Structure 1
């Protein structure tokens, strides 16, 4: 749970930049890569992470403009990268409106009320979870995995 805006900003920036690097590692011909048929693809996961900024931001009281959830996954990864960069900038602008006190305020989410700081922590955890799935799919697809939390095998 976050109690200081500066702590959230530091974690968000690291998490978002890591996610952006993972999205940039995808190639158009591998957007449909899934662990097995019928499971989430690299493209779907990347597009989901674009939308999740708006979802979690909205629950947190932040105004983040994202593509409609009904929009199909783009077939060009540069569109996903551009959309993620746009929501990153929007999140940065909205975070500027938060105060340390606002992080302890309770907000409705997932059928209960939790502190805004806890919800923002859950958001980063959600992003990390899907980014981890994506790194497995990148490797399965034969693509290089960027270092996010440290060096990868490809970097050794």
Structure 2
């Protein structure tokens, strides 16, 4: 039951994430709203990377970040980031399809060089917090980046504010 809901949510949100990454313009890839913020390209790459973590979450009891390597393009290459996203969506989908209701109850831990970073906690809670909610948080940031740099924001859950306003005649 829970797994069925997670799979359906995953499929819906992949579409929204794709729309958002497609809205990232190359011309503003180095935009950052403050000196301590990521660039738009770095944020987009992080969003794409979250899909990479599904495999480690659903296939390992202990996921060691320091032992894992992911091939990424440069954060300034939005096409490479979109390709990273598409590649890892498919792998994430496969990992989620292989999961079972019982596997959602099993403890999962994230480590970095032997130091526990997250957990142990049930894999289902990790899926909600570390994967799904983490993604939504950063997508919200990307919407702010797009607006702050004067770009159009795609509607993820219906029309955006701008799309819902009456068109001014010309």
TM-score, scaled relative to structure 2: 0.79
1:86 aligns with 2:87: yes
In structure 2, stretches of 5+ residues that fail to align are 111-116, 165-170
Contact 1:66 1:87 in 2 (8 A): no
Q: Aligned pair in 2 of structure 1 residues 94, 152: CA closer, same or farther (>3 Å)?
A: same
**Equivalent-residue separation in structure 1 for 2:161 and 2:54 (angstroms):** 32
Q: Which has the higher contact order (CA 8 A, sep 6+)?
A: 1
Q: Deviations over 1:33-92 (max 9, x none)?
A: 1112341121101101222222353133269x98336x531x332221121111111111
Contact 2:52 2:91 in 1 (8 A): no
Contact 1:50 1:66 in 2 (8 A): no
Per the alignment, residue 18 of structure 2 pairs with 20
Shift of 1:124: 0.5
Q: Work out which of the two has the higher radius of gyration on C-alpha atoms and give 1 or 2.
A: 2
Give the count of matched residue pairs: 151
Secondary structure class of the residue paired with 1:114:
strand
More strand by share: 2
Q: Deviations over 1:90-113 (max 9, x none)?
A: 111121111111111111133431
Cα RMSD between the aligned structures?
Answer: 2.2
TM-score, scaled relative to structure 1: 0.85
Q: Aligned pair in 2 of structure 1 residues 66, 93: CA closer, same or farther (>3 Å)?
A: farther
| Counterpart among 119, 124, 144 of residue 136 in structure 1 | 144
| Counterpart among 6, 9, 27 of residue 7 in structure 2 | 9
Q: How does 1:5-154 map to 2 (within 5 A)?
A: 5-61=3-59, 67-68=70-71, 72-73=74-75, 75-109=76-110, 110-122=117-129, 123-154=131-162
